């Protein structure tokens, strides 16, 4: 039987949580001691209630009894019941406090792991993000951390806690009556052997099936939700529903199997305990065991079973959960650098400035999945304050060129210069700070106009938001809104037209003082009149604010204000035009 990788589990915790888990272990051991003491306290009560004469056969009980000489006084029973109640009140209060501390710890770990996964996602290289299915990213950020924390980490803590209680109970029983311990062992070994025979690697297989099917169900839901219009227009609702059910049905059947398997251990243990009682009774019948001693023996067995049965059940269930969801430990360990949620601090470089030009010098690039180059010998310059257009057929390399300009992709050959100096890796965050990016479908937050323009800023400068909106051509629209920049936009900008959405994205870029605006097919889905309004607003920014604009588009009409237009074909720059020279 392979042991669970506990060191790997521990390594996933950050230093603060690693320290807290030792404190949690201390609480668990204290609580385990209280559990055993409270359990042991029941036996003297039963003995006194049944037959005070039996006290002489248990010296430690006799000591307690002799400290209360008022055996005929009803006050003795009041005191005894009160002490027992206080002990259980203390024990259960400690258990509640432990559960609260333990639960907060577990979910704090889940939050920390989700944060680290999200940070790691944004640190990934752009090609990696393109290659991975988005449903896997969602699973890694949201589901893996909570599954690991609840089904693996919590199960490991529970396993340790229950093993501690179980060990103390076993030691106590062995000290008091070795025969009872041997009987318990004989009763419990068969169900454990049966469980081992039945499960083998079954729980691990159940976990693997969940690991495979859950991202696929997420993918089916995403595709259906994102394709709502096409699905309705083409009448393909049944097709998408069937695809989801084809993935969901085996996943839920797998969950049903897990629940069934989870119900087996407690039933086996309970059956074994009842058989144990039967064995004691049969032993007493065939050996003429004294009835008073039999009562004490049965009381001890039942008292021990009362706590041992749920303890054993939790031990088995915890181990099953750890086996079933053990894959989360492997996946998180592969994703995260243990105890290093943040990247190394970059070396200091001089602040980046953009005063004159951007230069591509003999740039070549190819994707790892292709042998041929997507871009070949690209050389051109973008002057500060220039309005540059880029055209070309699909697959010509326009998007790749933009991603190199954005530094999401790094050229395989050639060099990229800002004001005559190569752009260093450490300067890329500064470079991104100079750029505003407007795509075909800008993300509109389900929030206010101000929060959409400020986009992630904790403190919003309302005056700057309004100025940015006016510069982007939304001044008149803003003046008609009763709540101004505090107007809520709804999910995906439901309250905005296509042109307003694009201009809001421009305002977002202006709010962050972008010196370079990049438009990636931003006007492709706008009608002619709206496109002209947006393009005129961009032209005003170039003339009045000195903003540098790079526009990639298929629509020739969007390029009328461009100072230059370059054409890409087959990964190369084949022509350079003025607008009047473009083939119509």
- Kindly state whether residue 449 falls inside one of the protein's structural domains: yes
- List the strands of the sheet with 572-577, edge to edge: 435-439, 516-520, 548-552, 387-392, 564-569, 572-577
Domain count, the chain: 2
If asked whether residues 278 and 418 sit together in one domain, one would say no
Where b means 16+ CB within 10 Å and e means fewer, 436-448 reads bbbeeebebeeeb
- Kindly state whether residue 504 falls inside one of the protein's structural domains: yes
Q: What is the CATH number of the domain that holds 164?
A: 1.20.1560.10
User: Beta 548-552 vs 516-520: how paired, if at all?
Assistant: parallel
Rounded (5°) CA angle 463-464-470: 90
- Kindly state whether residue 340 falls inside one of the protein's structural domains: no
- Kindly state whether residue 348 falls inside one of the protein's structural domains: no
Domain hosting residue 560, numbered range: 357-581
In the listed set 305, 335, 365, which residue is the last one of a domain according to the structure? 335
- Mean pLDDT, each 10-residue run in order, the chain (584 residues): 71 89 87 80 70 57 55 60 85 87 90 87 78 78 87 88 80 73 72 64 70 76 63 66 80 77 72 75 75 72 72 80 84 70 52 89 84 82 92 86 90 92 88 85 81 83 87 83 83 74 83 86 76 80 82 86 90 87 74
Rounded (5°) CA angle 79-84-89: 120
If asked whether residues 377 and 321 sit together in one domain, one would say no
If asked whether residues 295 and 170 sit together in one domain, one would say yes
If asked whether residues 370 and 509 sit together in one domain, one would say yes
Q: What is the CATH number of the domain that holds 440?
A: 3.40.50.300
If asked whether residues 429 and 552 sit together in one domain, one would say yes
Q: Summarize the chain as % helix, strand, coil (round to 5).
A: 65, 10, 25
If asked whether residues 128 and 258 sit together in one domain, one would say yes
- Kindly state whether residue 343 falls inside one of the protein's structural domains: no
DSSP secondary structure string for all residues of 313-348: HHHHHHHHHHHHTHHHHHHHHHHS-TT--SPPPPPP
If asked whether residues 408 and 498 sit together in one domain, one would say yes
If asked whether residues 433 and 556 sit together in one domain, one would say yes
> What is residue 362's DSSP assignment?
E
- Kindly state whether residue 184 falls inside one of the protein's structural domains: yes
Rounded (5°) CA angle 430-432-436: 135
Q: How far apart are CA 229 and CA 493, in angstroms?
A: 16
In the listed set 335, 365, 394, which residue is the last one of a domain according to the structure? 335
In the listed set 284, 301, 335, which residue is the last one of a domain according to the structure? 335
- Kindly state whether residue 342 falls inside one of the protein's structural domains: no
- Kindly state whether residue 303 falls inside one of the protein's structural domains: yes
DSSP secondary structure string for all residues of 162-211: HHHHHHHHHHHHHHH-HHHHHHHHHHHHHHHHHHHHHHTTHHHHHHHHHH
Torsion region of 113: left, alpha or beta (phi above 0 gives left; psi -120 to 50 gives alpha): alpha
If asked whether residues 331 and 364 sit together in one domain, one would say no
If asked whether residues 264 and 410 sit together in one domain, one would say no
Q: How far apart are CA 531 and CA 503, in angstroms?
A: 11
If asked whether residues 125 and 166 sit together in one domain, one would say yes
What's residue 359's pLDDT? 94
If asked whether residues 171 and 71 sit together in one domain, one would say yes
Q: Are 420 and 441 in contact (CB under 8 A)?
A: no
């Amino acid at each position: 039987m392979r042991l669970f990788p506990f060191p790997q589990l521990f390594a996933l915790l950050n230093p603060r949580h690693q320290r807290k888990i030792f404190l949690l272990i201390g609480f668990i051991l204290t609580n385990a001691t209280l559990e055993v003491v409270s359990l042991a306290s029941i036996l003297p009560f039963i003995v006194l209630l049944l037959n005070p004469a039996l006290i002489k056969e248990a010296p430690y009980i006799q000591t307690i009894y002799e400290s209360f000489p008022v055996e005929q006084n009803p006050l003795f029973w009041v005191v005894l019941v009160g002490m027992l109640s206080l002990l259980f009140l203390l024990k259960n209060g400690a258990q509640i406090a432990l559960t609260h501390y333990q639960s907060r710890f577990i979910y704090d770990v889940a939050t920390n792991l989700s944060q680290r996964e999200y940070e790691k996602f944004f640190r990934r290289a752009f090609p990696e993000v393109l290659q991975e299915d988005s449903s896997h990213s969602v699973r890694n950020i949201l589901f893996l951390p909570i599954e690991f924390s609840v089904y693996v980490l919590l199960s490991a803590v529970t396993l340790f806690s229950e093993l501690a209680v179980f060990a103390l109970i076993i030691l106590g029983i062995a000290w008091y009556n070795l025969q009872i311990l041997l009987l318990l062992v004989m009763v419990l070994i068969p169900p454990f052997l049966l469980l081992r025979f039945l499960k083998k690697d079954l729980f691990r297989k159940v976990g693997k099936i969940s690991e495979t099917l859950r991202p696929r169900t997420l993918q089916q839901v995403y595709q259906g939700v994102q394709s709502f219009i096409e699905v309705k227009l083409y009448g393909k609702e049944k097709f998408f529903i069937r695809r989801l059910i084809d993935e969901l049905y085996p996943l839920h059947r797998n969950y049903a199997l897990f629940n069934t398997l989870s119900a087996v251990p407690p039933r086996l243990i309970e059956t074994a305990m009842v058989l144990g009682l039967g064995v004691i009774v049969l032993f007493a019948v065939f050996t003429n065991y004294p009835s008073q001693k039999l009562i004490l023996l049965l009381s001890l067995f039942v008292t021990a079973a009362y706590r041992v049965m749920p303890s054993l059940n939790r031990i088995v269930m915890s181990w099953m959960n750890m086996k079933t969801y053990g894959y989360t430990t492997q996946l998180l360990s592969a994703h995260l650098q243990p105890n290093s949620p943040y990247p190394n601090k970059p070396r200091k470089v001089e602040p980046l400035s953009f005063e004159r030009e951007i230069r591509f010098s003999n740039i070549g690039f190819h994707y790892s999945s292709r042998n041929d180059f997507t871009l070949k010998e690209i050389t051109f310059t973008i002057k500060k304050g220039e309005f540059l257009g880029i055209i070309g057929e699909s697959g010509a390399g326009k998007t790749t060129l933009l991603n190199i300009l954005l530094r999401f992709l790094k050229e395989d050959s050639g060099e990229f210069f800002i004001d005559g100096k190569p752009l260093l890796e450490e300067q890329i965050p500064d470079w991104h700070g100079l750029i505003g990016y407007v795509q075909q479908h800008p993300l509109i937050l389900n929030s206010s106009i101000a929060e959409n323009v400020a986009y992630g800023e904790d403190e919003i400068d309302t005056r700057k938001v309004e100025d940015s909106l006016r510069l982007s051509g939304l001044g008149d629209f803003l003046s008609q809104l009763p709540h101004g920049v505090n107007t809520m936009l709804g999910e995906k900008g439901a309250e905005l037209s296509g042109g307003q959405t694009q201009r809001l994205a421009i305002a977002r870029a202006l709010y962050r003082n972008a010196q370079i605006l990049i438009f990636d097919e931003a006007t492709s889905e706008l009608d002619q009149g709206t496109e002209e309004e947006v393009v005129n607003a961009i032209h005003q920014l170039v003339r009045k604010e000195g903003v540098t604009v790079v526009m990639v588009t298929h629509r020739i009409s969007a390029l009328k204000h461009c100072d230059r237009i370059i054409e890409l074909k087959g990964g190369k720059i084949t022509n350079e035009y003025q607008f009047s020279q473009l083939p119509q």
